[in-house]
Amino acid sequence: MNHSRSNPFWREILNLRKNAPTLFRTVLFLVLLEISAIVLSPLLIPRSRCLSWYLSDKAKLETRRFLQGQSILLLDEYTGWRNRPDVKQQNWIIDSQGSRSTHAFTTQRIKPIRALFLGSSTINGGTRIRNDQTISAFLEDGDIEALNFGTMMYSLDQCLLAYQHRLYAFNANVIIVGLDADPVSGLKNHYIPLHFPDEENMPYLKPRFELASNSLRLVTVRPEVALSTFPQCSDLLDFLSKNDSFYFRFETYRRMGLLPLSGGLRFLYLRTLSFMTNFRYDSQDERLLTELMTEMVNEARKRDAEVIFLMVPEMTTFAMSGVHHFLPDNYARRYDELRSAGYNVVDIRQIFRDSGRTAYELFDPDEVHLTPLSNQMVAEALRPVIRAVAKGSDRRGK
């Protein structure tokens, strides 16, 4: 401290009150305002008003469009949302069945193997590639027919519900389910803006499962009811405070998100928390994942189908460069555990690493979605696995 005081720089900085009175008072006013806001805003500002501020204008508009049936996604009573049939937007073409497949199909299988793809936009290809550049499209050959029902932002619970209630009808004998780089956190979330605050195109609500005395219990939520008075949604916020693991993000916003200094602290806090998840491998959360995977396998086997789980990395999970190099490799740990538990799991990261390609060749600039080249590589690696699994399924069917 003595050293600091002897340096003219620190001497001046510590005397800002005298030497820079305007600056000093600006900071003082801001700090006083911030402290008042942290203490008073939860008492004075209604939660639903805060929700309205928490969501961007675009998110509010998209919510209304979705509820009025004007979005490219439809409200779905089981899964929260699903693809709207017959939608064409540049690369993005959804057929009359609500799938992103490359050919017309009915419930009748037309080839020996019908593979049904479930998962998020990493599975359906995302908006930047054409339908014929998806994994399912590259997979099609004389024996294999692929139906792509990947849906934006779907997590495993929604895949299971979609299959249980609608998609079983397509009589697929192989079900391919995509597991994103973090397949667990989405399972603990109902309201997307709490999990992904920047996601303003899909501010939707989804059901989720929870573990109750060693069994799965479905916690449903009806978006059309919960959001009927949007953005005045006190009941929904009550519900989320008890059931959504990401509700704390909204609560921190109420206290610390309204002004810049506390907003900065909140940002740092959330970033730190997000970073710390790299060190947390919660066995309870993993159990929820494996229970759902088991449920998915059982559901498929009831219909003589087999399930293959595709573990899809993001660019950071793939490259593990920079600071990620020193972090625990949860992806590898999860893969090993799922594999030893007997699930059919395909490790796409290993396929990519074996290819010797760079991350920029394999991943879209958003660092999440795959390029057409990657999709082709995945399809080629998947083909023999599907044939082997389909044989097993046929034997059981007979």
Partner 1 sequence: MNFSTPTYFVFLLVVFVAYWHLRRPHQNLFLLLVSWFFYAYWDWRFLSLVLIATVGNFFCGLLIHRARDVTRRKGWLILGVLFNLGLLGYFKYANFFLDSFISMVNVLGWHASSVTLHIILPVGISFYVFQSLTYPLDIYSGKLNPTKSFIEFATFVAFFPKLVAGPITRAREFLFQLEGDRVFRGEDFQEGCIHLLTGYFKKAFIADTLALNLVNPVFADPNSYSAATLWLAMFGYAIQIYADFSGYSNMAIGSARILGFQLPENFLFPHLATNFSEFWRRWHITMSTFFRDYVYIPLGGNRCAKPRVLINLAVTMVLCGLWHGAAWTFVCWGALHGIYLMARHLTPGMSDEPKNGARSYWHGALLLGGWFITQMLVSIAWVLFRAKDLNGARIFLTGLLGTGGAEGINVSALVWCCFIAAFLDHLYGWLVQNRPELIEKSPATVPALFYSGMIVFLYHAVPGVTNPFIYFRF
Instruction: Tell me if 351 sits within 8 A of 134, measured CB to CB.
Output: no
Across the strands, what pairs with 205?
Answer: 191
Give the residue with the Cβ less far from partner 1, 126 or 197. 197
Q: Does 320 bind partner 1 (CB under 8 A)?
A: no
Among 19, 36, 70, 106, binds partner 1 (CB under 8 A): 19
Q: Which of residues 36-65 bind partner 1 (CB under 8 A)?
A: 56
Query: How far apart are CB 264 and partner 1 at their closest, in Å?
Result: 9
Q: Which stretch binds partner 1 (CB under 8 A): 97-105, 258-266, 342-350, 382-390?
A: 258-266
Select 23 or 218, whichever has its Cβ closest to partner 1: 23
Among 1, 3, 6, 18, binds partner 1 (CB under 8 A): 18
Structure tokens at 283: 């066995």
Smallest gap from residue 261 Cβ to partner 1 (A) = 9
Kindly tell me which of 90 and 198 has the beta carbon lying closer to partner 1. 198
What is the smallest separation between the CB atom of 55 and partner 1, expressed in angstroms?
13
Q: Which of 16, 93, 211, 351 binds partner 1 (CB under 8 A)?
A: 16
Among the listed residues 2, 3, 6, 8, the single contact to partner 1 using CB under 8 A = 8
Question: From the list 5, 29, 301, 354, which residue makes contact with partner 1 (rule: CB under 8 A)?
Answer: 29
9 binds partner 1 (CB under 8 A): yes
322 makes contact with partner 1 (CB under 8 A): no
Residues that bind partner 1 (CB under 8 A): 7-9, 12-13, 15-16, 18-26, 28-30, 33, 56, 259-260, 263
